[in-house]
């Protein structure tokens, strides 16, 4: 999966953070799951409890981000570094914009994490 450095990372990352972010980018290059695949899981979580469902990903990107809930999840030295996924998707009844940490998406089905996501849902009126 293609992961970019966080925008303006120089304002937010220490040198150690930058090295951890680069390690996560390298780790995710080996991930056979695509950004669109992870998006489908996250959109499913966001739509849980509705009568709507995922149709297709229109736009998606992933970038490094710090997440205090993700401690050494990528390797023994990744500390609080994680991947933030942002996407826009079409649903059967509209469109949805989501943002979620990859470490949460990994746990789809095991935990509910919609309350930790950014969700904007646009649905048909009629």
- Residue 107 CB neighbours (<10 A): 13
Q: Where are the domains of the chain?
A: 9-123
Q: Residue 60 — left, alpha, or beta (φ > 0 → left; ψ -120 to 50 → alpha)?
A: beta
Confidence of residue 124 (pLDDT cuts 50, 70, 90): confident
Residue 126: is its pLDDT beyond 90? no
pLDDT tens figures, 3-47: 999 999 999 999 999 999 999 999 999 989 999 999 999 999 999
* pTM (whole model) above 0.75: yes
């Amino acid at each position: 999966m293609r992961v970019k450095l966080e925008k303006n990372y120089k304002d937010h990352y220490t040198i150690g953070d930058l090295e951890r972010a680069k390690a996560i980018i390298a780790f995710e290059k080996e991930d056979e799951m695509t950004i669109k695949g992870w998006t489908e899981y996250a959109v499913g979580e966001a739509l849980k409890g509705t009568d709507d469902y995922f149709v297709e990903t229109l736009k998606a990107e992933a970038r490094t981000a710090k997440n205090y809930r993700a401690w050494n999840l990528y390797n023994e030295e990744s500390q609080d570094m994680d991947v933030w996924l942002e996407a826009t998707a079409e649903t059967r009844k509209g469109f949805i914009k989501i943002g979620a940490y990859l470490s949460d998406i990994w746990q789809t089905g095991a935990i509910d994490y919609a309350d930790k996501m950014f969700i904007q849902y646009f649905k048909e009126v009629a």
